[in-house]
């Protein structure tokens, strides 16, 4: 009971910080800071672990080094959560038998690279160019706003000077965050 209460309080605090981040999203007085990408991913996954576990979604993290980056850690975490949430929804909607999300952390040419892939069948080619558009969703209005991936793109590219891309791989989709 204490453990579940602690998890709930941690999630509430994170949501409170997220609201603060969105409130000050366009203010220019915030300073970027160096943070460890793996730690940020672990903290984000802690918030949604129960949600992933209840859907039997296995999450695997592959990292051979401590990769750091410079940016806005809470906003970066929000971008990660948006991508993971979309992968979770795809696993559920498509009734994937052994759903999994694989997160690979590396660095290339002095930049952090995080690849988040799933085994949910990928993104149809006809909608691929639209998925980062504001208010674009393949779900009904009661299940999604279409703002998550758009906001993630803004955070990574405009706020942190990185790149957020997506492509289909063998059995699913792969999002690549480079900062």
pLDDT digits (tens, 9 = 90+) for 67-117: 999 999 989 999 999 999 999 999 999 999 999 999 999 999 999 999 999
Q: What was the pLDDT predicted at 23?
A: 57
* Residues contacting residue 3 through CB under 8 Å, at least 6 positions apart: none
Burial of 119: CB neighbours in 10 Å, binned 0-12, 13-18, 19+: buried
Query: Residue 176: enclosing H or E segment and its boundaries?
Result: strand 172-178
Which of helix, strand or coil describes residue 35? Answer: strand
CA–CA separation, 13 vs 28, rounded Å? 24
Class of domain 2-20+30-178: alpha beta
**Is it the case that residue 140 has pLDDT exceeding 70?**
no
pLDDT at 48 over 90: no
8-state DSSP, 156:
I
Give the integer Cα–Cα distance in Å for 80 and 104: 12
- Read off the pLDDT of each residue in 1-16 and give the average, rounded to a whole number: 79
Question: Is pLDDT at 165 greater than 80 in this prediction?
Answer: yes
pLDDT at 10 over 80: no
Q: What is the pTM of this model?
A: 0.82
Please report the pLDDT score of residue 99 as a whole number: 96
Q: Do the Cβ atoms of 87 and 120 come closer than 8 Å?
A: yes
Q: Angle 149-65-60 (CA atoms, 0-180°, nearest 5)?
A: 50
Burial class (CB in 10 A: 0-12, 13-18, 19+), 146: middle
Domain range annotation of the chain? 2-20+30-178
Q: How far apart are CA 54 and CA 155, in angstroms?
A: 29
Matching residue, tokens 């803004």:
154
Nearest-angstrom CA–CA distance, 54 and 39: 23
Residue 165 exposed, middle or buried by CB count within 10 Å (0-12, 13-18, 19+): middle
């Amino acid at each position: 009971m204490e453990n579940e209460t602690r998890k709930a309080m941690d999630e509430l605090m994170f949501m409170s910080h997220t609201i603060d981040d969105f409130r000050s999203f366009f203010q220019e007085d915030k300073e970027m800071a160096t943070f460890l990408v793996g730690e940020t991913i672990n903290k984000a996954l802690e918030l949604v672990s129960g949600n992933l576990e209840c859907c039997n979604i296995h999450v695997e993290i592959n990292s051979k080094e401590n990769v750091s980056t410079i940016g806005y850690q809470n906003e970066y975490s929000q971008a990660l959560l948006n991508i993971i949430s979309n992968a979770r929804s795809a696993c559920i909607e498509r009734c994937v038998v052994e759903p999994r999300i694989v997160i690979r952390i590396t660095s290339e040419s002095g930049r952090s690279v995080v690849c988040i892939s799933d085994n949910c069948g990928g993104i149809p080619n006809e909608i691929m160019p639209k998925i980062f558009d504001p208010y674009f969703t393949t779900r009904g209005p009661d299940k999604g706003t279409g703002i998550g991936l758009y906001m993630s793109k803004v955070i990574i590219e405009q706020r942190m000077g990185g790149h957020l891309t997506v492509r289909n791989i063998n059995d699913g989709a792969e999002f690549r965050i480079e900062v």
